[in-house]
Chains A and B, each alone.
Chain A
Amino acid sequence: MTQLIDIFASIGLWSAVLRIATPLILGTLGALLCERSGVLNLGIEGIMTFGAMIGWLSVYHGADLWTGLLIAAIAGGLFGVLHSFLTVTLGLSQHVSGLGVTLFASSFSYYVFRMVVPVANTPPTIVPFQPLDIPVLSSLPFFGPAFFTQTAPTYLAIIIALLLAYIIFRTPMGLAIRMTGENPHAAEAQGVNPMVIRYGAVIAGSALMGAGGAFLTLAAFDSFFPTMMQGRGWICIALVVFASWRPGRALFGALLFAFFEAFQLRMQTMLGGAVPYQLFLMTPYILSIVALALMARRARVPQALMQPYRRGER
């Protein structure tokens, strides 16, 4: 019991929560934005992988960290163009198209990475984002190191979550996106072009996914290796449902999820060999499934999600 208290009282736990949450926040927001416009983007796993790879590779080749993050976002956006072309222009199955994008983006990442970085025993590293020293806040006892010694992209992710909540619920653009996701025919009848909105949302959403992936290689770790994504993208898709398509709740969901993750990591060390570590590693996936089962019926799904829109065809 005291050990549990120790875990909760440890600075490491809380600072890890924010660090673990950041890629999930960005990925979930990206997926959420796509889905609000009516497009399920299962390309997320691959797009995040590509973002992680290309962001790292850019920095490895001399770009500064922010440029690396930007390049990852742009690359994500390009995959968004591909996914939009398949699902919006051609109106193909969003499930299969998304999986195709994931398979392509991840294998392409590995290919490019291997082409540039030959196999080595210890993967090459870069100097990642360092924790920001925020005046006053960072020097608070406990709270300072626990919450205010994160890297800059973490704060950026939180700001983006709030910004996206504002855009979706308080601006004409957000309303147009929501209407497109609910009823693209109505959007069209009111002079909003659903094709353009969907392209825009999917591209912007995919850019967020790319940036989320890059956080892993540019801030959380300092190197790239294949299979590092470990289903984070799929977890983001589950988090969108858990969040009921609301950015604020997505932020909360990602933090909650990261808390469990950070907690299980510490339980793992605490319990040592008594419980197989694999059981702990399973928890994120099982938690995601449980979250889906709990929320799927309750959540207010965008009514046109996964429905292709073609003018004149109802």
Chain B
Amino acid sequence: MKVLKRKPELCIACHACESACSNTWFKEDNADKSCIKIKEEAKGNVIISCTQCGECISVCPIEAITRDKNGIVRINKSACVGCFICVGFCPELAMFMHDDYIEPFKCVACGQCAKQCPTQAIYIEQE
């Protein structure tokens, strides 16, 4: 399956990935609406994104989260009841909520961010 991989040691915190993601999925340049987040911490930059581990599938009360045939974990937004348990239970903290929406959102490994990354700190890999 396709997964977005991370090499945080290469990240220069240019935040181009966040712009690419929010522009792709929400048609605006807004890091709060990105499915990938760059955190600049004292010990170095941290890249937060989904590993497609599927923990969220098992905590969803309504089976609105499933793994598709390519291995990508996807949210069925019409079935989602907006409880956000998946946000609180994500081990990577990579399931997100924004006040403008009543459903969570996450990375589906589309690769748009990787294309914009100048240092290959993020890249799509087939597992």
Partners in one complex: no
Q: Which residues of A approach B to under 8 Å, CB–CB?
A: none
Q: Which residues of B approach A to under 8 Å, CB–CB?
A: none
